[in-house]
Amino acid sequence: MLPPHGRFAPSPTGTLHLGNLRTALLAWLFARSQDARFLMRVEDLDTGRVRREHETQQLADLAAIGLDWDGDVVRQSERLDLYADAVARLDADGLLYPCWCTRREIREAASAPHGALPEGAYPGTCRDLTAAERAARERSGRPPALRLHAGSARVTFDDRLLGPLEGVVDDLVIRRNDGAPAYNLAVVVDDAAQHIGEVVRGADLADSTPRQLLLARLLGLEPAPRYAHVPLVLGPDGARLAKRHGSVTLADRRALGESAEQVRGLLAAGVGLAAPGEAPSMRDLLDRFDPARLPTEPTTFDAAVG
């Protein structure tokens, strides 16, 4: 097994909200409570949406609530050669095929029943093209994405918080049609390169784990990390916390007169690590931290109440 080194990997497309900050805090606690390294990685491959000023603010907010990390911040945009090498290895093994499907075509095809595949999964339309159909698509001039021929692999894993989970892997995108590496490929390559032993992230990403475990196996990047999917923070309407829910960022809470330490206490209280209104130190949180006592159900935050 790998040492339990952890990481947090935000995408700099906006300001972190309280749900993001709580996940980061829990990821830090998982790693530091096991005397492991904690790394910071910026997932900045979505060049149309990422902004360096967002990255700067995100890192400042994380530091303000008490997080520290080991080594330099790693940016995916500086690691493109690693992803290209992984794509080449999968292609050399005959595991990739070009896909010209538009999003609309995928939605329409994925709405039909396809046996073992989960609802909404890619059904393999371009994988099954005849030579003539493929030639016609090539003549269209539309650049294809590259998809993994996953073979509807069934992957199981034990989540640290959620217990045994299982998923059927569809033919996921490995390289987008603009040439950029897809998220699932990049995160697998990065976690292996950084020797991440335990991935702590929001429960909404649990469904992507079978895909990533399969990719790690196909790329020979095992042992793969262990996983702990922590509960989400929801708004009062039951949807995932977002800007529309009001004062949900560190800057928002400071504008209401709360200190960063008080915000940290608010985050900790939501997972049973602090009493309401308390502002515990990071040392306090480490002393209290017990993964077995963390909740698994999402919690609700009402910005009007705090």
Binding site listing for ATP:
243
**CB 61 within 8 Å of CB 263:** no
For residue 141, the one-letter residue type is G
Tokens of 26: 């829990």
Binding residues for L-glutamate: 7-11, 43, 183, 201
Write the CB contacts of 78 (distance below 8 Å, at least 6 apart in sequence). none
Tokens of 45: 């491959």
Query: Which residue in this structure is represented by tokens 């093994």?
Result: 93
Binding residues for Zn(2+): 99, 101, 122, 126
Binding residues: 7-11, 43, 99, 101, 122, 126, 183, 201, 243
Long-range Cβ pairs for the range 257-260 (8 Å, 24+): 258/306, 260/64, 260/65, 260/66
User: In the chain, what is the straight-line distance between the N-terminal and C-terminal CA atoms, in Å?
Assistant: 41
Alpha carbons 23 and 101: distance in angstroms, whole number? 35
Helices marked H in the chain? 18-32, 52-64, 80-92, 103-110, 131-139, 183-193, 209-218, 250-255, 260-269, 282-288
Alpha carbons 145 and 137: distance in angstroms, whole number? 12
